[in-house]
Structure 1
Amino acid sequence: MRDLNVVEICAGAGGQALGLERAGFEHTLAVELDANAAATLRRNRAAWHVVEGDVADPEKWTPEDYRTVNDEPLDLLAGGVPCPPFTIAGKQLGATDERDLFAWAVNLAERVQPKALLLENVRGLSANRFAAYRQNVLDTLQSAGYAAQWRLLHASDFGVPQLRPRFVLVALRPDYARYFSWPEVSAGVRPTVGETLYDLMAARGWEGARAWADKADDIAPTIVGGSKKHGGADLGPTRAKAAWAKLGVDAMGVADEAPGPGWKPAAGKPGPRLTVDMVARIQGWKPEDKWFFEGRKTTTYRQVGNAFPPPVAEAVGQSIARALRQEGKRNELVEATETVHDPVYKLLRGMERPLGVDQIIKRLAKQGQQLTEPEVERHLAHLERDFIIARVPRSSGALGYKLGEFRAFVGQEGHQRHELFAVNQAKIS
């Protein structure tokens, strides 16, 4: 069997890339904004074509050039587009955040026309706030000839010793989608932080490494890479720091090296800090990967912390690879069940004239959707953050609502994203 090929956008330090490589994909192109992360990719895979810069800059690359590879259609377009637009810390700005590239990446699939698309992001994208955003993505992909599915995957279900939920989108052409199934979770006991890191903690002769590993007998909270808008490296917000403390880890920073002989924690500290290598191990990099991260401590920590865990990417990649090779059992196409994330969006999308709240409630009731007036108003409030909503007075005196354009950047020359990105690029990671 020939190797499958992949073009990866927002490739970061290579977590998803390494996982896809393990699953049998060969990188034709990797595009990454951060100079240090791009250097990491080049350092570890000199044969890959790595392009450094804004993935949406037409001067950096021409997506249409990658419709075919060696005279075959591109197998997979993949990426881990920026997460802050969908996080609470990022204020959940969604389509109005200059870092949002999710809708653009979906539009990119229309331009490149790969056999399969893989995009991953934070759990926040699965929230009610973004129901209409997700619905728009599914509708766009269906119109482009893809069968698409969302799934919330937990890294700890794939042998990674941390929580790390990731919201994953997979879309395939119908001939391949019939063979796609989400990867099964790992059987058996989940590895703990202690057993995962014992050898690294003991590497410099710390006598307390064994006792520490026995105490660190659970999986870790989600590693938080953060962004250039915030300060130095640490292991997350207050709640995460408390969870780390229970594991005997000082989460207030990242260490330069493992503890040495005679090391003891300072007064009030729960234990040692982790090194970047330890964080990478918790993120799913294995010793045999021999993956080197370019840059100083803070930037290497961010590269690791923002990565898609390689074992999760490998598991999803294997499922996609089997589908592309049309192996296994044929399944019912997902569009046959018509997945609905936001019924108000779906209703307004098909209407030429404005509808009032009362009309929305009645029409949805006929479709078997029972929504109250406050629920409809909440849907409309969420919709307005990502879409232009026209308010039109009705003869009854109430307002009618008409769905307008998607606010997200999908490649428009005059979009506000260009100006905001240029102003804030130094803080974007």
Structure 2
Amino acid sequence: MLTAISLFSGIGGLDFGFEAAGFQTKVALELDGTACQTMRLNRPEWNVIEDDVNHISSAYLLERAGLSTGEPDVLIGGPPCQPFSKSSYWVSGDSLRLDDPRADTLTGYLRVLRDTLPKAFLLENVSGLAFKNKDEGLRLLIEGIEKINRETGTNYRVTWKSLKCANYGVPQTRERVFMVGAREGQSFNFPSETHCSANDLSEDLFSDKLPHNTAWDAIGGLAEPSPNEKGLSVGGKWGGLLPSIPEGKNYLWHTNRGGGYPLFGWRTRYWSFMLKLAKALPSWTIQAQPGASIGPFHWNNRRLTFEEMARLQTFPSDIRVECGRTEMQRMVGNAVPSLMAEILAREIRTQILRKPLDGSLQLMPKKKISTPEPEPTAPLASQYKALIGEHDDHPGTGRGKKAITRARASTTLTI
């Protein structure tokens, strides 16, 4: 198998995808203890190290992987992108101390890239990394890789793109930025989208794309969990409202522009407030740290089980966890859909490593023949009827109460 070094591995979302494409994770570095425990439970052969990337030398990573500089086929990882200054990338010599500790995730990845010199690398991050006028992290990475080329004589050529995972077969509308580089300067082309919505297909009779894989394709037909299973009931102030909201809708159903009762003003809550899955659509993004009323929730008016979330993330079917609900949700919500990683790993094999892989994608959900009708809604619970009435809509971007408060504070400080 081809070899991979994994940084910021989490529960192993990227690694599972590269594994499906014929790569073996030789060493995985992750700071979170529960995530490390989960990786060891499922893939003890990955040689998991529980530590901070800036406390571990690249030489030690190579030693644990049984590899030398230049030997790894790929370096993979999804470093959390925290606020930072790009005044310096790393300290010269053997020191692992960074000028700005807030920049430690991206600069840590760059340091390991410089020291291990893999044939290819893949870096994943949130789509905000490439937002206009907020792309300091992206520019730091590109400039850092150019610096690596100058210092080591390599010719890493970088390509990056924001990908909508649902348009590649993932049954979830997660969007992420992926950066791919080749040490010898080979060009890399991101694969074309293969899936789209049913509406788009109906408007283009000659499209060769497939319909989106849906939540039903991923989790439909699974047995209902035991009513006594902990952590699945939706409580709190708003839990009793969920049964009155149709599949695929959120709190906006109960506004003056929805089909329910006017309980809220239009767009006065977060989109994911009381958000419910629809069988016929991909899932919305699984949240890492949802509040009591933050979805997506199951169409049966409960939270999702680990198996259901794992399937929506296209993890391998044998994945298990031995931890509490909070830790499990956080690990799954922070992970990369493994199918997306498998697709990109296959392209890296073909375009950069010149070792194409035959056969179909292992982690692609199987399309179900039919989708059941949406579940019926329940009448509005009595405790919410007192809220029926006129409610102000959100005034618009930058005009809400919090935005006005921030603007006034800023003006006061300027004066």
Q: Give the structure-2-normalised TM-score.
A: 0.60
Among 238, 244, 248, the alignment partner of 2:299 is: 248
Among 213, 220, 238, the alignment partner of 1:191 is: 213
Q: CA deviation at 1:129?
A: 3.3
Q: 1:59 to 1:134 in 2, by over 3 A?
A: closer
Quick one: which amino acid aligns to residue 127 of structure 1? F
Contact kept? 2:5, 2:28, Cα under 8 Å: yes
Among 142, 145, 155, the alignment partner of 1:141 is: 145
Among 172, 186, 189, the alignment partner of 1:162 is: 172
Q: Cα deviations across residues 346-401 of structure 1 (Å, max 9, x unaligned)? A: xxxxxxxxxxxxxxxxxxxxxxxxxxxxxxxxxxxxxxxxxxxxxxxxxxxxxxxx
Contact kept? 2:69, 2:117, Cα under 8 Å: no
* Structure 2 alignment gaps of length 5 or more: 87-99, 150-154, 195-208, 228-242, 249-276, 357-415
Q: How many residues align?
A: 278
Q: CA deviation at 1:156?
A: 0.5
Paired position in structure 1 for 2:37: 39
Q: 1:56 to 1:192 in 2, by over 3 A?
A: same
Higher helix share: 1
Q: Give the structure-1-normalised TM-score.
A: 0.58
Q: 1:195 to 1:27 in 2, by over 3 A?
A: closer
| CA distance in structure 2 between the partners assigned to 1:236 and 1:18 by the alignment | 31
Paired position in structure 2 for 1:383: none
Q: 1:125 to 1:72 in 2, by over 3 A?
A: closer
Structure with greater contact order relative to length (CA < 8 Å, sep ≥ 6): 1
Q: CA deviation at 1:72?
A: 6.8
Among 326, 340, 347, the alignment partner of 1:312 is: 340
Q: Does 1:172 align with 2:182?
A: yes
1:45-84 aligned at under 5 Å gives the runs 45-58=43-56, 62-63=60-61, 65=63, 69=67, 73-83=71-81
| CA distance in structure 2 between the partners assigned to 1:199 and 1:139 by the alignment | 49
Quick one: which amino acid aligns to residue 302 of structure 1? R
| CA distance in structure 2 between the partners assigned to 1:276 and 1:21 by the alignment | 21
| CA distance in structure 2 between the partners assigned to 1:119 and 1:132 by the alignment | 16
Secondary structure at the aligned position of 2:307 is classed as helix
| CA distance in structure 2 between the partners assigned to 1:32 and 1:98 by the alignment | 17
Q: CA deviation at 1:202?
A: 4.0
Among 102, 109, 122, the alignment partner of 1:105 is: 109
Q: CA deviation at 1:159?
A: 1.6
Secondary structure at the aligned position of 2:5 is classed as strand
Contact kept? 2:84, 2:103, Cα under 8 Å: no
Quick one: which amino acid aligns to residue 223 of structure 1? I
Paired position in structure 2 for 1:301: 329
Paired position in structure 2 for 1:129: 133
Paired position in structure 2 for 1:280: 310
1:415-426 aligned at under 5 Å gives the runs none
* Structure 1 alignment gaps of length 5 or more: 86-91, 227-232, 250-270, 329-429
Paired position in structure 2 for 1:225: 288
Paired position in structure 2 for 1:342: none
Quick one: which amino acid aligns to residue 216 of structure 1? K
Percentage of matched positions with identical amino acids: 27
